[in-house]
Structure 1
């Protein structure tokens, strides 16, 4: 059900190591929303991809869609507050994010949701992570990407010009402020020949 992918194919093989978060570049989106982007925050991400693809207990969920039940077009795994993360570098990443963004966020990152996009047919539709507190409060969602780059698109809620970020190879994006309420994000399908990608979404308590 999963694909192994050698880190050397990405040119980012070697031990996983996190860089400084102070190099992230912030873009103000308006209405209190912003994104920070830091390419290559995690070096050696190819090795992490290989371990996660092989060892995470991936689940294929099915959901009601109008009059039929369909498979969610990606594999999923969620780690709650008390669950140990599947690799030590992810625990280090969550701690580093909490230390760096904690003064602005006002709390640490608590959970981790993993998505496995196996090829260009896997995707996620336009949405905001606004279940729970994100519907009424400013919050942050930090996404670390490993594997082949896929476009994460952002647009104002209700439609408008979109921003496109090709994320992979250890890239980090942090969506903050009102972003989950006033903007939407998606991973669009693509007919291009793209390799698999895993995203790790770190969130504070009560945000999904």
Structure 2
């Protein structure tokens, strides 16, 4: 899938060799983002996911919830996740994304970062069930956090992108094959943040 071009007022395509990115810092209007953030904070069944790291199971440093169609079973970091049913607000967001970008999404990973101590380590969304060149649509709500991309083989190729409230970042093409990304911890006082990454699981995990 090629990310469609958009007028500069609506979004930009950050230049990063070997990646296909499109970023809109205010894809959701502030009133929409505010209402969605409050609703999801209160209504999502947040949980601590257990993941495997260096051969042992640990608690993820954030709260999470996997939602989607019934067959959108996903394996991440050695753990198999069966989706919760769609929250109505997230189903509406999925429909908007699919319409605007002529894409298909059957699942979303919601992550809640409670403070600067919550983070996401270096990784790629390159699980086999996402396909060879997945489209990932990432919506940020709440506090602005730093998002980092770094090339797997050439670490001098990198990008830092602050993700503000209501923003949308699309990653497609060879991005996951060539780059890892992370949301690092920060000692600065920051508020809570929710990140929604919409995906399309091509086949059920086993």
TM-score, normalised to structure 2, is 0.79
Deviation at 1:41, TM superposition (A): 0.9
The CA distance in 1 between the partners of 2:51 and 2:175, in whole Å, is 26
Deviation at 1:64, TM superposition (A): 4.2
Alpha-carbon spacing, 1:64–1:180, altered in 2? closer, same or farther (3 Å): closer
1:3-18 aligned at under 5 Å gives the runs none
Q: Match of 1:42?
A: 28
Q: Match of 2:143?
A: 148
Q: Match of 1:85?
A: 86
SS in 2 for 1:93: helix
189-198 or 22-31, larger mean C-alpha shift: 22-31
Assess if the C-alpha contact under 8 Å between 2:17 and 2:157 holds in 1: no
SS in 2 for 1:142: strand
SS in 2 for 1:46: helix
The CA distance in 2 between the partners of 1:112 and 1:67, in whole Å, is 26
The CA distance in 2 between the partners of 1:165 and 1:137, in whole Å, is 24
Assess if the C-alpha contact under 8 Å between 2:144 and 2:163 holds in 1: yes
Moved over 6 A (4+): none
Q: Give unmatched runs, 5+ long, in structure 1.
A: 1-20
User: What does the per-residue CA deviation read over 1:182-208, in whole Å, with 9 as the maximum and x for residues that have no partner?
Assistant: 111110000011111000001122389
Q: Match of 1:109?
A: 105
1:63 correspondence with 2:64? no
1:1-208 aligned at under 5 Å gives the runs 23-31=10-18, 33-43=19-29, 44=31, 45-66=33-54, 69-82=57-70, 84-88=85-89, 90-102=90-102, 107-134=103-130, 137-158=132-153, 159-206=155-202
RMSD: 2.2
Assess if the C-alpha contact under 8 Å between 1:155 and 1:185 holds in 2: yes
Deviation at 1:46, TM superposition (A): 1.8
Assess if the C-alpha contact under 8 Å between 1:168 and 1:197 holds in 2: no
Alpha-carbon spacing, 1:68–1:131, altered in 2? closer, same or farther (3 Å): closer
SS in 2 for 1:27: coil
Alpha-carbon spacing, 1:58–1:26, altered in 2? closer, same or farther (3 Å): same
The CA distance in 1 between the partners of 2:156 and 2:123, in whole Å, is 14
Q: Give the count of matched residue pairs.
A: 181
The CA distance in 2 between the partners of 1:59 and 1:171, in whole Å, is 24
